[in-house]
A and B are shown apart, each in its own frame.
Chain A
Amino acid sequence: MPFALTDEQKLLQESVDRFVERDYGFDVRTRLAESETGWSAENWARFAELGWLGVPFDEAAGGYGGGPVEAGLIAEGLGKGLAVEPYLWTVVLGGGLLARAGRNDLLEELIAGNLQLATGFAEPQARYALHDVATKAERSGGDYVLTGQKAVVFNAPSADRLIVPARTAGGQTESRGITLFLLPAGADGIALRPYRTMDDGRAAEVTLSSVRAGGDTVLGEVDDGMALIEPAIDVATAVVCCEAAGVMQALVSQTREYIGTRKQFGVPLSSFQVLQHRMAEMFIHKEQTQSMAYMAAVRAAAGDGPAASRAASAAKAYASEKGKLVGQEAIQMHGGMGMTREMPISSFFKRITMIGSLFGDADHHLDRFADLSGGRTG
């Protein structure tokens, strides 16, 4: 049936929901977020066992032949529990790049749960432009020497390998001339400055000082890294929109529960029509974010190209804008309780806020959508 999940996809969805309901209570999540690495190796091993790490990859690469839709369903389910495991960074983005570069050897390791990845797709001056790459890779014999800084590299503190776009030709903002390098995280000249993120994740500033990289560390074609990273980021964008839908669902259901129980003036808050209508709005935005996220995931599954990019930008512009609104409303309706760190709702709010700017904020994607649609803006 069109516009509906297959039986297999439903089963996958149910298994993620079950995992989150049974094993990912908010106190468990808090403990993991506070732990040294910030996520659970045990859970990761379970994800491997359940097949979630291999879901989006081809059978030829040892995967289970799914794609962006299946990855999106997993992210959506994990979003409902605010899972801190780096599924997006290692499996969706990192794994996506390895798959595009045909590195099945490493995918095997990843699918088995033995490889963590981080991708330095942002630079301090670049804002959300993937093609703004000042990090240089200069030829030196058969090798390259990399120098530059990567901003806010998510999952870098846990990564075994880093995927680093660097400029091998062209000017700083040219799309052509970017090459992707796959570097061991501990390579000489790589310095990490790790920190926590606002939504309890982990990231680092990554400085590359004359890092020597052999020719075999190049992923894909020299100078043509954008052909890999742009579609991979589109997929990751679609998947993070699915996560946003999951987070929004949690925001809506927790707020509904709260105002249904909390009494003021002798009645539940939910008896006030102004709050009822605002919750109805929240529900509408959550539902439509889910629609947009699925659309983007399905378009991505159909193959790279402008249709996939357009759908990813449309979904992200929508999810960023409405996610912000739903988050703010959820806090407001919780009153003082919503402001506390102790109440789960505030952590969901922080996550939806931070998703807002991941891979570009609403403005960025509005522009990109308009450009891809042949319209001109600004």
Chain B
Amino acid sequence: MDLDISAEDLAFRDEVRAFIDRSLPSDTREKVRRGLKLTKEDHVNWHRILHANGWGAPGWPVEYGGPDWTPMQRHIFEEETGRNHCPRLMPFGLKMVGPVIQAFGSDEQKAQHLPKIASSEIQWCQGYSEPGAGSDLASLKTRAVRDGDTYIVNGQKTWTTAAHWADWIFCLVRTDDTVKKQEGISFLLIDMATPGIAVKPIITMEGGHEVNEVFFDDVVVPVSNRVGAENKGWTIAKFLLGHERTSIAEIGRSKAQLEKLTEIAAAEQKDGAPLIDDPRFREKIARAEIDLMALEMTLLRVVSAESAGRVPGPEASLLKIRATELQQELGELLMEAIGYYSHPDTPEAREFGWNEPSVGPDYAVSLSPAYFNLRKTSIYGGSNEVQRGIISKMVLGF
């Protein structure tokens, strides 16, 4: 086993770094670095900048406009963009519905949607969860009833991230309720501008607006917008769960957070000395760094197996669990580092361009809200309990 990445990969890493350095708008970098509020435009602009460089669809094969990167190159890209304060590329088009259309879509669907996903012309959101169908996704109730060459869709989705930014939504809908619940589900692409769709914001505990409820009231959807066969939607849902799971590790972003933690702990004082010299706090930073190393090494082993042609299976669950726990651990330490300045709630100071001096140190304004918000990571994307269930079943054979 070798712990060094190849010379070509190193050169690629330098290329990515240099590109970010050159091309990431400085205000966007600043927002990401300081944890300030990002707009839809921040995400879209960055995506378009990448697209103009031929990097708009990092995980895609060349025939659909992707750069045809190796698993290692994809990993390097994820890490470098995360570490160097790039906004996240919204995953719903690029990592979810895009690969689904590539694998299961018709030629018309490919031609209609893929180029606009790669170029970020069209934004997507994911309509899976419902009020009654969270961990038990297959019990979903939103109904699509066939009417000639259309479906009439009625029901409700919830927790839909970025529905308020999206032009299209991909949905799991019930097309047969007389069979086993997994066998009566279809996968539909729905234009958000269709009459009968209403989006209602859900405000999360720190005051942010990322998620929404989406209501469907007699929404007419052409049958040609179905991906795959009728009642075969569950197969697609499962395909998606296994796809591109290595990016979930968020190694780059966690490295950036660890650096930030180190900087803040050096700036904060405890008993007249930097907090970072406090044995208890030092130990916590060390522990987080070791957790990060363990995750990175595990990820690299998975990436390497992928390069050899293996599709990651339950390792994805391991990565999801440890990555989200690490993100939460770092968020906790960041909040802890700032002592009493974790208390003031100054949402205005979390907006970019707010020019007044902040209540405490500048770096403190977004840390408690981030801590609160990060609780979501162990809930979404298949909760960590559900992931442990997968490992128990698929690896341990229980």
Contact = CB atoms under 8 A, between A and B. Distances in A.
Contacts of B360: 124, 151-152
Contact of A328 (B136, B269, B375): B375
Given A122-B340, A203-B343, A357-B340, A341 B205 contact: yes
A346 B204 CA distance: 9
Contact of A332 (B202, B341, B371, B375): B375
B379 A264 contact: no
Interface stretch (B15-23, B217-225, B272-280): B272-280
A134 to B, nearest CB: 11
A15 B203 CA distance: 35
Given A328-B375, A339-B204, A350-B205, A151 B135 contact: no
Pick from A127, A172, A377 the residue with the most CB of B within 10 Å.
A127
Interface in B319-375: 328, 332, 336, 339-346, 359-360, 368-369, 371-372, 375
Nearest to A324: B332
Contacts of B135: 264-265, 335
Nearest to B133: A264
B380 interface: yes
B81 to A, nearest CB: 26
Interface string B139-166: 1000000000000000000110000000
B344 A152 contact: yes
Interface stretch (A40-48, A192-200, A250-258): A192-200
A338 B279 CA distance: 34
B263 interface: no
B271 interface: yes
A250 to B, nearest CB: 16
Contacts, number: 136
B287 interface: no
B126 interface: no
Given A332-B375, A336-B159, A152 B341 contact: yes
Given A198-B368, A357-B342, A332 B379 contact: yes
A197 B207 contact: no
A375 interface: no
Contact of B269 (A127, A349, A354): A127
Contacts of A363: 278, 280-281, 336
Interface residues of A, number: 52
A371 to B, nearest CB: 12
Contact of A341 (B203, B272, B328, B384): B203
Contacts of B275: 127
A128 interface: yes
Nearest to B159: A336
B165 to A, nearest CB: 19
A26 to B, nearest CB: 14
A172 B360 CA distance: 20
Contacts of B139: 264-266
A357 B336 contact: yes
B205 A132 contact: no
B109 interface: no
A129 B271 contact: yes
B340 A336 contact: no
Interface string B68-90: 00000000000000000000000
B368 to A, nearest CB: 5
B182 to A, nearest CB: 12
A274 interface: yes
Given A124-B360, A198-B345, A274-B385, 15 more contacts: A124-B341, A127-B270, A152-B340, A152-B360, A196-B345, A197-B343, A198-B369, A274-B388, A331-B375, A338-B375, A339-B205, A339-B379, A341-B204, A342-B203, A354-B343
6 contacts: A198-B369, A263-B132, A332-B383, A336-B129, A338-B375, A339-B211
